[in-house]
Structure 1
Amino acid sequence: MTARGADVTAEGADMAATAPVVVRQTPPEPARPRWSRLGGPAAFTATAVLVLVVAPLLLEPFRLGLLAKYLCYAIVALGIGLAWGQGGMLTLGQGVFFGLGGYAMGMYLKLHDAGGDLPDFMVWSGVEKLPALWAPFGNPVFALAMAVVVPVLVALALGTLVFRQRVRGAYFAILTQALAAALVILLVGQQGLTGGTNGLTNFFDIFGNDVAADTTQRGLYLTVAIVLGVLYLGAWQLVRSRFGRLLLAIRDGEDRVRFLGYDPATVKTVTFAMSAGMAGIAGALFVPVVGIISPALLGVVPSLELVVAVAVGGRYALAGAVLGAVVMGYARTYFSEELPDAWLYLQGALFILVMTLAPKGVAGLASGVAAGLRGRLARGRAAA
């Protein structure tokens, strides 16, 4: 390079160094408010506090008991939302785990009311000695533990057998539905052990309190609401953890996750067991609230109704599953009173409309509307 060329190069470098740098300005993204960043827990906690405080003051005992029943269904729906909405496992047999938890609690209550004698239905059935299966359930701690442990163990066994064979989709749904039908047949056929078609009923005392008393029912309602809130917050945290992200990845592309070195069968089995445990807890709470547990409450039809409720509320959002269970429970009560012959048709039509027009349910519609409003707000600020 000549001396003249070197001078020109140096001059160009000096000009580049001193030239102003033009940076294209982009409008900053509007800061989201704190409540929006907190998302589900903040909104759910505020709603839960409102329900806990206001509902017992405004509702008469009968209506409060109905709301407690709806919240029990919401706990089951929360588990379905976790398994189906987050994990892609369409379970049509959650009534099985709901019933196992309910019968565990019902066995304790019947033994407690009997005061060491045989429960009334066993006397009517000609049973002369308390079956060995029933004896441990005289302990309330054992009964409460079994209401959760037994559903979890059954789900773990079923999940291990099924998911290891890569059974999924409609095949898994049909299998869980068949399990619910088989359990109903088993319970109905064991009249002296399970109460048969009538199930377990006529409960009078729970932990030293009259089940039918208004104060007891209010206490049960608060217990159900608190348990639902705790389980929701736990599920919400789980979904946003590393395990939850892996679960979503399995839902959207199980084979890809397997090729990356993860074991989808283990993740799906654990999630399925957690949903079963939630259903067992709901069943145990349902029995003292409603006063009965029978095969009619845990068969194929109740399980399908819960799936419909989750679909209507929004299976991809945990809050949508809870909302769907409460709304559908209230709608069933209302329309059964006003239009008893039309409720099933309305329920089926609602499910078809939601699945065809709004696959993400009410929660999905609300999320879409909120996203649209945030987009308009951001564009308006950028234009200003």
Structure 2
Amino acid sequence: MNKTDVMNKADVMKKADVMKKAIYPILVGLLVVAAPFLMDAFRLNLLAKYLCFAIVALGIGLAWGQGGMLTLGQGVFFGLGGYSMAMYLKLQEGGLPDFMVWSGVEKLPALWTPFANPVFALATAILGPMLLATLLGLLVFRQRVRGAYFAILTQALAAALVILLVGQQGLTGGTNGMTNFYDLFAWDLAEDSTQRGLYFVVAVVLALLYLGARQLVRSRYGRLLVAVRDGEDRVRFLGYDPATVKTVTFAISAGMAGLAGALFVPVVGIISPALLGVVPSLELVVAVAVGGRYALAGAVLGAVVMGYAKTAFSEQFADGWLYLQGALFILVMTLAPKGIMGVIKRARTA
């Protein structure tokens, strides 16, 4: 075999490999587009909800899987985004929000006034979590807090936020949170067409964030992030500042969670402390582990799979669905420590 034949064979194999890798994104894209035609309005709304959680999971995969930061408090950033959007939606009704009337509040609090502007509300939903994550990262990572200590700190932050929200009944709705949203930019949220449009918005946002995160991971910064995960002290000796690298990634993951919260509110129609405490944050981390934390696609897949499993188990086994969900996690982690994506990768190379 001469040199030309070898080069041609290599080109053919390369093209075949590219085509093989392109099959999965194409199939996913077709399923996303076909979903509104294959599902009723209720199931499509559930899928949109899972995709919102997938955005949060993508951020966790970036921070934990690529950066080694086990964050157990993403519910904090999700909640900040969700409450920002909820405040805007409530102000579209005119007058005082219903829960303030029930709580005896007679005048709209000054904190609420700027949220009548949708640009301000959306910017706060994204930039607010990023700012909080940046401040926390600069304080924590420069003190070289990492591992279990960092995880416990983020978990405590989630618990503290829940206590704060519950205690401010007249400002946040307390335990019940906020619900009864009717309009979004003059679109009736009760209409199936509006929910279908929101589903596509969530799907497009998730796709764009995934492509951006993948590009980030493949960049020089992404390689540096993985190096920090695998050997933080060695990276520091090479002249880089691991605290800055981790803070930037942590802030990006927080911004993703905030945006997911802002999308979640019009899709599901509620935001409450129960959706952003310690338990929901842990469930998202479990979902990322099930999907495969070292692959961004695994984080997204895990969130959708666990969301679907939670719904299916609760519908079929109302008394014991939590045990089945736990059994699913144990089964995947026992048979596939690298998650579902690890199984898929092994199948590709087999």
> Please, what TM-score do these two structures have when normalized by structure 1?
0.86
Q: 2:23 & 2:242 partners in 1: Cα distance?
A: 32
- The equivalent position to 1:46 in structure 2, one of 12, 16, 26, is 26
CA–CA separation in structure 2 for the residues paired with 1:288 and 1:43: 33
- Map of 1:120 onto structure 2: 98
Instruction: Give 2:42's match in structure 1, choosing from 50, 55, 62.
Output: 62
> What is the CA-CA distance between 1:362 and the residue it aligns to?
0.6
Q: 1:53-92: per-residue Cα shift (whole Å, max 9, x none)?
A: 2001111111100000000000000000000000111111
The reply to whether residue 90 of structure 1 matches residue 70 of structure 2 is yes
* Residue matched to 1:225: 203
In 2, Cα distance between equivalents of 1:72 and 1:141 = 20
Deviations for 1:328-355, whole angstroms, at most 9, x for unmatched residues?
1011001001012222112222323333
Q: Does 1:247 find its partner at 2:228?
A: no
Residue 255 of structure 2 is matched in structure 1 by 277
Cα distance change, pair 38–148 in 1 and its aligned pair in 2 (3 A) = farther
Give, as a single letter, the amino acid of the residue that structure 2 aligns with 1:91: T
Match of 1:213 in 2: 191
Q: Does 1:148 align with 2:118?
A: no
* Conserved? CA contact 1:45–1:229, under 8 Å: no
Q: Quick one: which of 302, 324, 340 aligns to 1:346?
A: 324
- 8 Å CA contact retained: 1:44, 1:319: no
| CA distance in 2: counterparts of 1:37 and 1:82, whole angstroms | 24
Cα distance change of structure 1 residues 203 and 151 upon mapping to structure 2, 3 Å threshold? same
Supply the distance in 2 between the matched residues of 1:128 and 1:335 (Cα, whole angstroms): 44
Aligned equivalent of 2:3: none
How many Å apart are 1:49 and its aligned residue?
Answer: 2.5
- Map Cα deviations across residues 87-107 of structure 1 (whole Å, 9 max, x no partner): 111111110000000000000
Unaligned runs of 5+ in 1: 1-24, 374-384
Aligned-partner SS, 1:49: helix
Q: Hey, what does 2:116 align to over in structure 1?
A: 138
For 1:1-384, list aligned pairs within 5 A: 32-34=13-15, 36-37=17-18, 42=22, 45-113=25-93, 115=94, 117-371=95-349, 373=350
Cα RMSD, aligned residues only: 1.7
Contact between 1:108 and 1:137, CA under 8 Å: does it hold in 2? yes
Deviation at 1:47, TM superposition (A): 3.7
Tell me how far apart the structure 1 counterparts of residues 16 and 167 of structure 2 sit (CA, whole Å): 53
Whole-angstrom CA distance in 2 between matches of 1:35 and 1:141: 46
Distance 1:34 1:279, change over 3 A: farther
Q: Which amino acid aligns with 2:15?
A: R
After superposition, the Cα gap between the structure-2 partners of 1:77 and 1:35, relative to the gap in structure 1 and judged at 3 Å, is: farther
CA distance in 2, matches of 1:214, 1:34: 42
Structure 2 regions of 5+ residues with no counterpart? 1-5
Q: How many residues align?
A: 343
SS in 2 for 1:362: helix
Q: Following TM superposition, by how much is the alpha carbon of 1:32 offset from its aligned partner in structure 2, in angstroms?
A: 3.6
CA shift, 1:359, in A, is 1.7
Identical aligned residues as a percent: 76
Deviation at 1:33, TM superposition (A): 4.0
Q: Distance in 1 between matches of 2:19 and 2:59?
A: 22
- Displacement of 1:48 in angstroms is 4.4
Give the Cα–Cα distance (whole angstroms) in 2 for the partners of residues 275 and 176 of structure 1.
13
